[in-house]
A and B are shown apart, each in its own frame.
Chain A
C-alpha cells in the first residue's frame, strides 16, 4: 500500500479516524520505506517496533470506541538530538554513541502522548553544527533529490536537520521533528522541497534536547504541507516549568485558524536580502512569491533591515561561545565515550576523550567559542556581538511597525553536492545568511517550497513573522503553498 506513504499527516490522521485504513497499515508502509532507504542514511537508529506499538494502541482505542488522540495513527521521525528514553540518542556524535537516556525530552513526550509513533532517530549534523549534514559521525545523509540531466552526484539535504528533510521528501515518514538554531529546519526544508517552521523562541521546551546554543535553539516540525506543520507545532508547543526560557502562554489553535486570505496584511521585502550577487533563479522565485502574496490580498512594501550583513558574524560568535560551554559536560565521566590512555590523569582523560569524541567542525566551533570568551577578548567579541544582536532585533521591531510579515528567500542557493563546500568552513557558514537573523531575534520563521531551479532542485521561500505570531507566518505559508502548486518529488533512485 505504497500510496499510504504519500499521505500527509492531516490525511493520515483523518483517514485513520474515518476508518479508511488502520494505523498498523500506515506504520507498516512507512517502516517498509525506511527499511528500503538505507542508501540515504537518513536514520541512525530505526525503531519499527515503536511505530507499530503506537499504531496498535491507536487501532485498539479506535476499536474500543475510546477517544482518539490528536496524532493517533501518525508515525513520525525524531531528530537524534531529542533524548528518547531507552532509545540511543547520539546527536550524531561518537561522543554519545551508545548513550541511552533514562528520560524523555519534553517535546518528544508531548508527541508520544498525543499518539504519534516513532519510526526512528534521524541523522543530523553533529551536535546540530552544520548546514549540509556532512558532519555526522554516522556518515553523510544523502538527499533523495538529484540534479536533472543524469548527474548522479550525491547532494546535500541541508543541515543540521538533514536526516529529517531527506526522510520526509523521500516519503520515509510524513513528518519529523527538527531543531533550528541558525536555520537548521528552514534551510534543509528548502533544499528538499518541504516545509518547516522555527517557532518564536520559547514556544517549544528545550528540556531534553541536546543543547547547542541555548539562546538560539528551538524545536520545530518539518512536513510536506503547511497544515501538517501547524498540526505538529500545536502538539510540540507549550509552557514547560523545567525550562526557564519557556514561554508561559497558551498554545494558539494554529490549524483551526489557518487561512490563506491575507487581505489587510502588509508584507515587507527587506532590501538587504537582495544583494547584487544573489542567484538569479532565487531572485526570480522571490519575485513570484511576492506576486503570490499580493494575489492572496496582501500589500507589499519594501523595508530595510540595516544590520543584516552583521547577522552571520554575530551568530558565529554567540553560537560557538554558548556551545563551547554547553559541550563542556562531554568529558567521559558520567556518560558517553571515555578515552583513557595509559597512565592518563583526569585532565588528560578529558582532552583525549573530547579529541576522540568530537568531529572536526564541533572542535572548530568549541575553539572559536572558547577564544571569544577568553580573557581579554570577551568585550571585543562576545559583548560586541550581543550588542549587535540587540540592533538586529531592533531592526525587525522597527520593520514590524510598518508590516506584519517579511518574505525572503530561505537559502542563497539550491542544494549543492556533498563535498563541494568542504574546503572552507566559512563557505558553509554563508548558507545561513537568510535564516540566521530571525534566529538572533527569536522570531517565528518558516520555509515553504517556491519551485524548482533549472536543474530540477527545490528552492524555498522564507516567511518571518512578529514574535508570537506563528499564525500569520503559517497563513502566508499556506497562501504560497496554494499558489506555488509544488508537486515535485524526487525520483526514487535508492
Chain B
C-alpha cells in the first residue's frame, strides 16, 4: 500500500505537525520506503494467534480509593509557557 502526497499531508494534520509542501514531498518516498518494508509482516501466517496483550505475565493492580495527590498547583503550573490566575492559558477556542 503506497501513500501519496495527499496522504502524507493528512497524516501530518492528524499528528498535528505542520509540514511545508517541500517537507511533505520529501517524506513521501521516505515513508513509502519504511511502510513498504514493514508490509512484509503480511506474509506471516497468524491463524489462531491472539495479539500480545501483556509482555510478561502480570495482573493489573487496582489502587485504593483515597485522595493521595493533587493540591500541587504550583508544581503543575511551574513549567507552563503561559499561566494566569491559576489556569493554563491557550489561544481562544471558539466552540
Distance from A386 Cβ to chain B, minimum over Cβ atoms (Å): 3
Distance from B41 Cβ to chain A, minimum over Cβ atoms (Å): 5
Task: Give chain A residues whose Cβ lies under 8 Å from the Cβ of B27.
Answer: 364, 367
B14 at the interface (CB under 8 A from A): yes
Q: Contacts A368-B31, A390-B51 known; A363 to B56 CB distance under 8 Å? A: no
Task: Give chain B residues whose Cβ lies under 8 Å from the Cβ of A202.
Answer: 55-56, 58
CA distance A368 to B30 in the complex (A): 10
CA distance A456 to B9 in the complex (A): 46
Does B16 contact A354, Cβ atoms closer than 8 Å?
yes
CA distance A355 to B7 in the complex (A): 18
Of the candidates A335, A352, A355, which one forms a contact with B79 in the assembled complex, judged by CB atoms under 8 Å apart? A335
Closest to B13 in A: A351
Does B93 contact A345, Cβ atoms closer than 8 Å?
yes
B50 at the interface (CB under 8 A from A): yes
Task: Give chain B residues whose Cβ lies under 8 Å from the Cβ of A386.
Answer: 51-52
Distance from B74 Cβ to chain A, minimum over Cβ atoms (Å): 8
Does B17 contact A338, Cβ atoms closer than 8 Å?
no
- Chain A contributes a number of interface residues (CB within 8 A of B) equal to 74
Of the candidates B1, B41, B55, B91, which one forms a contact with A313 in the assembled complex, judged by CB atoms under 8 Å apart? B41
Task: Give chain B residues whose Cβ lies under 8 Å from the Cβ of A385.
Answer: 38, 41
Closest to A99 in B: B79
Task: Give chain A residues whose Cβ lies under 8 Å from the Cβ of B37.
Answer: 313, 316, 426
Does B3 contact A371, Cβ atoms closer than 8 Å?
yes
Of the candidates A215, A244, A338, A426, which one forms a contact with B82 in the assembled complex, judged by CB atoms under 8 Å apart? A338
B75 at the interface (CB under 8 A from A): yes
Does B79 contact A367, Cβ atoms closer than 8 Å?
no
Q: Is the interface of A mostly helix, strand, loop or mixed?
A: helix
Task: Give chain A residues whose Cβ lies under 8 Å from the Cβ of B17.
Answer: 351, 354-355, 358, 363, 366-367
Of the candidates A98, A244, A425, which one forms a contact with B30 in the assembled complex, judged by CB atoms under 8 Å apart? A425
Does A374 contact B11, Cβ atoms closer than 8 Å?
yes
Size range of the chain B interface in the assembly: 35 or more
Distance from A172 Cβ to chain B, minimum over Cβ atoms (Å): 29
Does A354 contact B55, Cβ atoms closer than 8 Å?
no
Task: Give chain B residues whose Cβ lies under 8 Å from the Cβ of A468.
Answer: 56
Closest to A442 in B: B55
A417 at the interface (CB under 8 A from B): no
A370 at the interface (CB under 8 A from B): yes
1/0 per position for B57-79, CB-CB distance to A under 8 A? 01011010000000010011011
Distance from A104 Cβ to chain B, minimum over Cβ atoms (Å): 12
B6 at the interface (CB under 8 A from A): no
Q: Contacts A324-B15, A389-B52 known; A314 to B88 CB distance under 8 Å? A: no
Distance from B48 Cβ to chain A, minimum over Cβ atoms (Å): 10
Closest to B55 in A: A442
A265 at the interface (CB under 8 A from B): no
Instruction: Identify which of residues 331-385 in chain A touch chain B, using a CB-to-CB cut-off of 8 Å.
Output: 331-338, 340, 344-352, 354-355, 358, 363-364, 366-368, 370-372, 374, 377, 380-381, 383-385
Of the candidates A103, A336, A374, which one forms a contact with B75 in the assembled complex, judged by CB atoms under 8 Å apart? A103
Task: Give chain A residues whose Cβ lies under 8 Å from the Cβ of B79.
Answer: 98-102, 334-336
Task: Give chain B residues whose Cβ lies under 8 Å from the Cβ of A354.
Answer: 15-18
Does B75 contact A102, Cβ atoms closer than 8 Å?
yes
Closest to A389 in B: B52
CA distance A245 to B55 in the complex (A): 9
CA distance A389 to B79 in the complex (A): 38
Does A371 contact B41, Cβ atoms closer than 8 Å?
no
Of the candidates B3, B14, B19, B58, which one forms a contact with A247 in the assembled complex, judged by CB atoms under 8 Å apart? B58
CA distance A98 to B81 in the complex (A): 11
Of the candidates B56, B61, B88, which one forms a contact with A333 in the assembled complex, judged by CB atoms under 8 Å apart? B88
A484 at the interface (CB under 8 A from B): no
Distance from A89 Cβ to chain B, minimum over Cβ atoms (Å): 10
Task: Give chain A residues whose Cβ lies under 8 Å from the Cβ of B42.
Answer: 380, 384
Distance from B71 Cβ to chain A, minimum over Cβ atoms (Å): 13
Does A340 contact B49, Cβ atoms closer than 8 Å?
no
Distance from A328 Cβ to chain B, minimum over Cβ atoms (Å): 8
CA distance A347 to B92 in the complex (A): 11
CA distance A241 to B62 in the complex (A): 10
Does B16 contact A331, Cβ atoms closer than 8 Å?
yes
Of the candidates A331, A349, A372, which one forms a contact with B91 in the assembled complex, judged by CB atoms under 8 Å apart? A349
1/0 per position for A452-494, CB-CB distance to B under 8 A? 0000000000000001100000000000000000000000000
A393 at the interface (CB under 8 A from B): yes
A310 at the interface (CB under 8 A from B): yes
Closest to B77 in A: A334
Task: Give chain A residues whose Cβ lies under 8 Å from the Cβ of B63.
Answer: 241
Give me the 10 closest cross-chain CB pairs, A-B, nearest first. A386-B51, A335-B79, A338-B81, A442-B55, A351-B18, A102-B75, A387-B46, A350-B16, A313-B38, A390-B52
A-B contact pairs, 13 of them (CB 8 A): A102-B75, A202-B56, A317-B41, A337-B81, A346-B91, A364-B30, A370-B14, A381-B38, A387-B44, A388-B46, A390-B51, A391-B49, A442-B56
Additional A-B contact list (20), CB under 8 Å, known A316-B38, A364-B31, A367-B12:
A99-B79, A103-B75, A202-B55, A317-B41, A333-B88, A351-B16, A354-B18, A355-B17, A358-B17, A364-B27, A364-B34, A368-B35, A381-B38, A381-B41, A384-B41, A384-B44, A385-B38, A391-B44, A391-B46, A391-B49
Q: Which B residues are closer than 8 A to A by beta carbons?
A: 1, 3, 7-8, 11-19, 27, 30-31, 33-35, 37-42, 44, 46, 49-52, 55-56, 58, 60-61, 63, 72, 75-76, 78-82, 88, 90-93
